Amino acid sequence: MIPTTLDLTADPQGIARAADLLRQGLLVAFATETVYGLGGDARSGSAVAAIYEAKGRPSFNPLIAHVASVQAAQRFVQWSDQAQMLADAFWPGPLTLVLPLREGNGISTLVTAGLDTLAVRVPAHHTARALLAEFDGPVAAPSANPSGQISPTNAEHVRAGLGGRIAAILDDGPCGVGLESTIVGLAEEPTLLRPGGVALEQIEAVLNARLHLHQSGDLLTAPGQLQSHYAPDAPVRLNARTRQGDEVLLGFGPVECDLNLSAKGDVTEAASNLFAALHKLNESGRPIAVSPIPNTNLGAAINDRLCRAAAPRDS
């Protein structure tokens, strides 16, 4: 246990302190536009091992390396024309690319779970970018929560799940997107490995090609592919029109419910509210029912997270 998890403000002094902690091989949670990430030096095996330990995360589940720029990404992975097209369109932003590692990349094999590819992203959030620039290196950063539980979209969520396990939390308020990044594999044919903050339709439009879809039985090549993930403590029932028993209802659109992701039926608003709403309803200790959500654009990413939240739990 860490004696005290520091609360740092996202100002120049707090960012400098956070970068110094990362240089010492310690863990810092920080805001991104998607969710709060749990950062450690991606070149340090001991720092990355500490991420797995703090989260209770399976070591066969790869991590995303966050970098400050396209040029920084190119130091670690083999770049391609398709990678450049997607980076031009969506970086900085909520898109992760999985590409073959470069020779002599220096990334800890714990980040890649022993694979010959690396998931890499340039975040858009100003605090994340400032931290990466100050640290001047790749930061491995899965979501800052115990493995398999609801992703954190504010500092309070991080503190509740990881307080006493990490060195510091760099607090910059709630996250804007509220869903993890979309992950696209480019090591072979372009593949959607995880839906997220950039819609499938947008990516296909940029590439002028259909993406192959990752199947449940395929090898784990990116974060967020475990069947049971993003899960509250209580059972989750999907596509619910009404409550059953003592359930609480998470609504979408103009429905009577305990908490509404978007009363006007806006999937972008729903995505930004999803994890905070699950945290709130989880506090009730009651089963959670969820209204139907359209499976288009960001709705596909919302439904992906909800299906994993509702999946049978790993024993």
Sheet of 236-237: strands edge to edge?
236-237, 288-290, 248-251, 259-260
Determine the 3-state secondary structure of 64 from DSSP.
strand
State the pLDDT confidence band at 125, using cuts at 50, 70 and 90: very high
pLDDT tens-place string over residues 168-203: 999 999 998 878 899 999 988 999 999 999 999 999
* CATH 3.90.870.10-classified regions of the chain: 6-213
Contact predicate 184/119, CB 8 Å: no
- 315 pLDDT more than 80: no
Arch. (CATH architecture) of 6-213: Alpha-Beta Complex (3.90)
Sheet of 6-9: strands edge to edge?
6-9, 168-171, 28-30, 37-41, 139-140, 64-66, 117-121, 95-100, 182-185, 191-194, 212-213
Find the helix or strand (DSSP H, E) in which 159 lies.
helix 155-162
Measure CA 2 to chain center. Answer: 24
Contact predicate 95/86, CB 8 Å: yes
**b/e map 56-79, b = 16+ CB within 10 Å:** ebeeebbbbbbbbebebbbbbbbb
Find the helix or strand (DSSP H, E) in which 27 lies.
none
Give 27's Cβ-side CA count (13 Å radius): 31
CB atoms within 10 A of CB 91: 22
pLDDT tens-place string over residues 127-137: 999 999 999 99
Determine the 3-state secondary structure of 280 from DSSP.
helix
Measured distance CA(313)–CA(293) in Å, rounded: 23
pLDDT tens-place string over residues 229-253: 557 888 999 999 999 999 999 999 9
State the pLDDT confidence band at 60, using cuts at 50, 70 and 90: low
Determine the 3-state secondary structure of 100 from DSSP.
strand
Determine the 3-state secondary structure of 175 from DSSP.
coil
Cβ-Cβ contacts under 8 Å for 219 (sequence gap 6 or more): none
Determine the 3-state secondary structure of 191 from DSSP.
strand
Largest CA distance in the chain: 58
At residue 176's C-alpha, the angle toward residues 171 and 177, to 5°, is: 125
- 218 pLDDT more than 70: no
Which of 149, 191, 193 shows the shortest CA–CA distance to 36?
149
